[in-house]
Amino acid sequence: MNDNFIQVNTEACKRCGQCVNICRGTLVMGNSGPEIAEDLCIECGHCVAVCPNGALNNTRTPLKNQVLIQRDLLINSEIAATFLRGRRSIRSFSSKAVERELIKKLLDIARFAPTACNSQGISYHVIDNKEFLHRISSVIADWTEEAIKSGPLKNSPWVHNTANTISQYRNSGKDTILRDAPCLIIATAKTEQFSLGRDNTHFSFSYVQLYAPTLGLGSCWSGLFEYCATDKYQPLLSLLEIPQNRVITGGLLIGYPVYHFQRLVDREPLQVTWQ
């Protein structure tokens, strides 16, 4: 590790202390500006981002890679609330293929999602081949039927809905498993960090879901895919050829929505306690 990863422009530094106060324990204020007290740095970039004078650089999260916030692009609370409430799970996708450049935009936003202790570590495996997606659905259908009979779905509160999904898949000719989505994004993490990776995937996929509508796209969590993958169903893992040092932590369907919602849906009343 570089012991001198904090660099200070002493002429620009006003010793206001914001960088020290926002740091989780690495920095203290010295005579000429912030100094390293103990290397507890998680490379979050807070110290650099908060400095009003651009006087601080952290070589592990460099100033040159940070972007000044344009205040005129920030949204107010009313717009934000409508934006957040407007997210819907899309289960009817157009057959139109999703341009890979748009998928790259989605995933580039996903990497900025919060992660535990700035651990990050999520990688993505994108499948946009229609025939391959059909093969995945077929494998998941086989697993689901067994899982309902004697596996992890046997006592699921949604077992009847799941059984109906598989029945429709077998009898209707429609892909009720992957919803005929033209794209499946699979998230992976280090095998030994499954629990952490699973949480981080939830954060990153939430960013994808919120950003997708701004690109004209819709998304839906692929629950049966995730059940099958986390059950380590070998036919699925063999088909996907995920490296042995990686583990699947999530799956998200992406595509152009057929239908567009006109209203914000209500939910159960807020439940909160205070102490």
**Strand pairing category for 123-127 and 183-190:** antiparallel
**Strand pairing category for 27-29 and 123-127:** unpaired
Does residue 1 surpass a pLDDT of 70?
no
| Average pLDDT of every residue of the chain | 96
- Which residue type sits at 237? L
Domain ranges of the chain: 6-65, 80-255
Handedness of CA 244, 245, 250, 253 (dihedral sign): negative
Same fold, 6-65 and 80-255: no
Does residue 2 surpass a pLDDT of 70?
no
For the stretch 94-129, pLDDT in tens is 999 999 999 999 999 999 999 999 999 999 999 999
Give the whole-angstrom CA distance, residue 139 versus residue 180: 15
For the stretch 208-266, pLDDT in tens is 999 999 999 999 999 999 999 999 999 999 999 999 999 999 999 999 999 999 999 99
Handedness of CA 198, 199, 200, 201 (dihedral sign): positive
Confidence bin at 39 (pLDDT 50/70/90): very high
For the stretch 82-96, pLDDT in tens is 999 999 999 999 999
**Strand pairing category for 56-58 and 34-36:** unpaired
Domain 6-65 in this protein, CATH class: alpha beta
> What is the number of alpha carbons within 13 Å of residue 130 lying toward its C-beta?
10
Residue 185's φ and ψ, nearest 5 degrees, are: -100, 120
- Least Cα distance to 219 among 241, 244, 252 occurs for 252
Helix/strand/coil (H, E, C) string of 123-149?
EEEEECCHHHHHHHHHHHHHHHHHHHH
User: Above pLDDT 70, what percent of the chain?
Assistant: 99
Confidence bin at 36 (pLDDT 50/70/90): very high
For 190, the 3-state DSSP assignment is strand
Please check whether residue 113 is in contact with residue 203, taking contact to mean a CB–CB distance below 8 angstroms.
yes
The topology (CATH level 3) of 80-255 is: NADH Oxidase (3.40.109)
Does residue 173 surpass a pLDDT of 90?
no
Alpha carbon of residue 50 to chain centroid: 25
Confidence bin at 141 (pLDDT 50/70/90): very high
